[in-house]
Amino acid sequence: MLLKLSAVRKAYEGTATPVLNGVSFDLEQGQMLALTGESGSGKSTLLHLIGGLDTADSGAIEINGKDITPLDDAGRAVLRRGTVGVIFQQFNLIPSLTVAANIAFQARLANRHQPERDRELARRLGLMDHLKKYPEQLSGGQQQRVAIARTLSPQPDLVLADEPTGNLDEATADTVLAMLQELVAETGAGLIMVTHSERLAARLPRRLHLQSGKLV
């Protein structure tokens, strides 16, 4: 089992009800899952807990059989470098680095950098002519492709995508999602994609829906 959540709960100070209230589910290696729900239902919070960007108040989150909830900041950073990759809606590219350097960034941190893999990702994602450019010189769709390449370069076991096509037009979103699915499938990684789009959610083989902090 790649991922196992058991009764995960998360509340924020000043809120009357928890953002997540007893969430449990499993994800096997190679599975792809769409996580849907209304704004404020806890989708992004859940993704951040799995990715080690935040900590749960209670419950367990196991990745490859290890509970990550007790990890400190350093331990969670190690988790994000190699085991779990996160793709954000806002791209989060480093403006001062070229496309090539952005793609290599995460893999270098994880000591997993393979230049030939980066070139293959760039080729597959249509970025070969842009490697010396900077993020501001790219379209939104191109920037998201760079973000995907950066996340996949260290070959993580689990890919988390938080509204990865939210800033893209429909046609570009379809293209980017298709590329993401294809590349993730080839590595055998698991994929959890948060989306508000029913159309995009239908393209993944499994779906979970969050409502008021619970899976329904």
The ranges assigned to domains in the chain are 28-58+69-215
Cβ neighbours of residue 73 closer than 8 Å, sequence gap 6 or more = none
Residue 135: the pLDDT is 97
pLDDT, averaged across the chain = 94
Residue 207: pLDDT band (50, 70, 90) is: very high
Q: What is the mean pLDDT of the segment spanning 148-174?
A: 93
Q: What is the mean pLDDT of the segment spanning 118-147?
A: 96
Beta strands across the sheet bearing 58-63 = 20-27, 3-10, 58-63, 66-67
What do you get for the CA distance between the two ends of the chain, in Å?
22
The secondary element (H helix, E strand) that includes residue 7 is strand 3-10
* 203 pLDDT above the threshold of 80: yes
Residue 125: pLDDT band (50, 70, 90) is: very high
Residue 166: the pLDDT is 87
Q: Which pair of structure tokens corresponds to residue 181?
A: 């699915």
Residue 39: the pLDDT is 87
Supply the CATH classification number for the domain 28-58+69-215: 3.40.50.300
| pLDDT, tens digit, 9 for 90 and up, residues 50-101 | 999 999 999 999 999 999 999 999 999 999 988 999 999 889 999 999 999 9
Whether residue 32 contacts residue 189, with contact meaning beta carbons closer than 8 Å, is answered with no
* 16 pLDDT above the threshold of 80: no
